[in-house]
Amino acid sequence: MFRLADLVDDGTVPLTRAFRAASKRCHPDLGGDAADLDALVKAREVLERAGAWT
């Protein structure tokens, strides 16, 4: 997820804020790629299931 969201894994940006920013960049209605958005959503789901989403 960090690579797709274009983040550095240093813990300085809350994941929810990072997800929202990345989803705006990836959203097809805003000029992004649907496959990237799908991958981002799946990454969030994996982190949620693992209990790592903050």
Using the predicted structure, report yes or no on whether residue 13 has a pLDDT greater than 70.
Answer: no
Residue 32 confidence (pLDDT): 92
Interatomic CA distance for residues 23 and 29, integer angstroms:
11
pLDDT, tens digit, 9 for 90 and up, residues 28-37:
999 999 999 9
Q: Are 48 and 1 in contact (CB under 8 A)?
A: no
Dist. CA 3–CA 20, nearest whole Å: 15
Q: Is residue 52 very low, low, confident or very high in pLDDT (cuts 50, 70, 90)?
A: confident
> Would you tell me how many other CB atoms lie within 10 Å of the CB of residue 22?
22
